[in-house]
Structure 1
């Protein structure tokens, strides 16, 4: 089943997410600063600096380091990566200092408020239910970009394949940010024509009646069944399979069963030993006629 899309077809995904929160990091591994090459150090105590919301003990637990152990540079680098992998920090440093190990962190900001601009077809409540970011949650650039893609998918399901979404971050005091999604909804992508390939028994017109997607017409503004929807397209495939299955069952039930014969007509009868001699002297057809009560042939008497 093929569908022709109008208005330029699918214009692609969003042009990319531009994040207003600028964090300059020249770090080889995310935001975890590598420890300079050196000999192993004994961990006398573990100090945590730079944390505001997240308890120091929690950060120590993330690091995997224990007081009293001897840590190699590789283990210190692994501790920094472990902390950064939690997604709670935008910068992490782990370094020995005078017999101690100091963990310096810069926390990711928390989300103060989320708003949407430019949306009309989908209201704020519908979009808020789609995204994963929530007020008072930790903000990350990756989650904002993922939410932008989720909004684009929501518009695609409503037939707007030209939708564009750009997340913008506005810094606020106390390490907080406002997250704004700027939206260009675009036009509806309508289905101008539906064709079927390989159908011989049923016409295109008959198959169109079996599916939910319809072609655009003068009354399209009243319905949404002519909007291109990939989920509805999958449903149409199932409906076509069901249609052909039902037609095959109908044809099968309309074929009359093969004729049935009385069991006696197919019986193979062996004469008893006492009659075997006389029966062999008779024509088989004459014996069979008498056996089933039919009119016997003349025996010459």
Structure 2
């Protein structure tokens, strides 16, 4: 359904500084009815990649295709595209206008796209699908009158009202209490089954990825370094970065792997594997014993394909 091919997104440095390569060569496929989790630490390029897939940031190089057609960045084409691909933001309080009622918040997309049907019925159906029933009871409420979970359901209803085929959810439960998180994740899974929705879920929470995703793509310094089914990647990770992420979970066996150094700078990507400066396999001498230490330092692993097979960008 959605494909990124050789995608690059760069930002010029301030005052002539080095260009920041926020997304630095990404291939990613998303199939109909599939949920893909895009995981990685803060600053790795997850949100920039998601914004580019939505057409909010035109790529510096590469392309995005939807239903086999390259994304057109003209205003009319983007309007049509965004009716089929909707965004769910992290903070429902920041996503909703405090001066708008729930009805107006959900109906806004219909008005922008000049919906010709029964607006009231469409809003009521979207709220009901999002788990706010009876929907009419919420029409005249304002965001401050709702709980955090209810506000996130309103945001989801605002995305559903246009009957999209794909949701891009950026940390959809990060700001919610643990008890509410499960409800929202269950809602997303139910919507996938009922509406045949696809979803790209951007998160740093590996537990969320395990509970909701069919596939996982692990991102580091602008590039996907491991991808595959959620069971394969999270049960038997092959890339040292993924192994380190999983090692700090509360129920992980063995000692946590604490990565040395600061998170990398996308304007100063060194030669070789982009993880080598923090790689515990290289630091322990294991890479040298395997005869790949020189490759780690001098040769960049190939960009992973965007399909569903298990892959890791590690020498």
**Shorter-normalised TM range:** under 0.3
Which is bigger in relative contact order (C-alpha 8 A, separation at least 6)? 2
In terms of fraction of residues, the more helix-rich structure is 2
Structure (1 or 2) with the larger CA radius of gyration? 1
TM-score, normalised to structure 1's length? 0.25
TM-score, normalised to structure 2's length? 0.24
